[in-house]
């Protein structure tokens, strides 16, 4: 089925470790984004991309890096994991046409100990 695929679904990291959360979509969506979801705080935008080679920061970008080398993939890198980055991470995509809505992946639950 077409959609947004995130891997892994669960991950436990030690403080200071690095890792990459993967996101891929097969809908040829130009716009892709990463959100984190924390209890009582809703979803907050980390980084987004409006097309291959173009990325920009969202509301909470510190501690995360992104790149967009292809239309399909938008990985999120944690450079040096901290307990404050314990969260559920969602990747979402959309057509560039602003009249379209978001399609979300199933999420990655990350725990940093």
List interacting residues with another protein (CB under 8 A): 31, 33, 35, 40-43, 45, 48, 50, 56, 58-59, 90, 92, 98-107, 109
Cβ neighbours of residue 59 under 8 Å, at least 6 residues apart? 44, 45, 46
Q: Which is nearer to another protein, 90 or 112 (CB)?
A: 90
Least Å distance, CB 106 to another protein, is 4
Strands 19-25 vs 4-7: parallel, antiparallel or unpaired: antiparallel
Adjacent-strand bridge partners of 99: none
Our CB check for another protein shows the closer of 68 and 105 to be 105
Which CB atom, from 50 or from 52, has the smaller least distance to another protein? 50
Q: Least Å distance between CB 107 and another protein?
A: 5
Q: Which CB atom, from 15 or from 26, has the smaller least distance to another protein?
A: 26
Compute the least distance from the CB of residue 80 to another protein, in Å.
26
- β 19-25/76-78 pair status: antiparallel
Distance CA 44, CA 24 (A): 20
Could you give the dihedral angle defined by the CA atoms of residues 48, 53, 54 and 57, in that order, rounded to the nearest 10 degrees?
A: 50
Residue 98 beta carbon to another protein: minimum distance, rounded to whole angstroms: 5
């Amino acid at each position: 089925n077409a959609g947004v695929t995130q891997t892994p679904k669960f991950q436990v990291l030690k403080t200071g470790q690095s890792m990459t959360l993967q996101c891929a979509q097969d809908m040829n969506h130009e716009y892709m984004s990463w959100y984190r979801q924390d209890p009582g705080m809703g979803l907050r935008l980390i980084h987004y991309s409006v097309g291959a080679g173009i990325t920009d920061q969202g509301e909470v970008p510190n501690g995360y890096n992104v790149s967009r080398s292809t239309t399909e993939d938008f990985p999120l890198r944690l450079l040096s994991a901290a307990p404050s980055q314990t969260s559920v991470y969602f990747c979402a995509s959309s057509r560039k046409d602003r009249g379209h809505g978001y399609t979300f992946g199933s999420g990655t639950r990350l725990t940093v100990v």
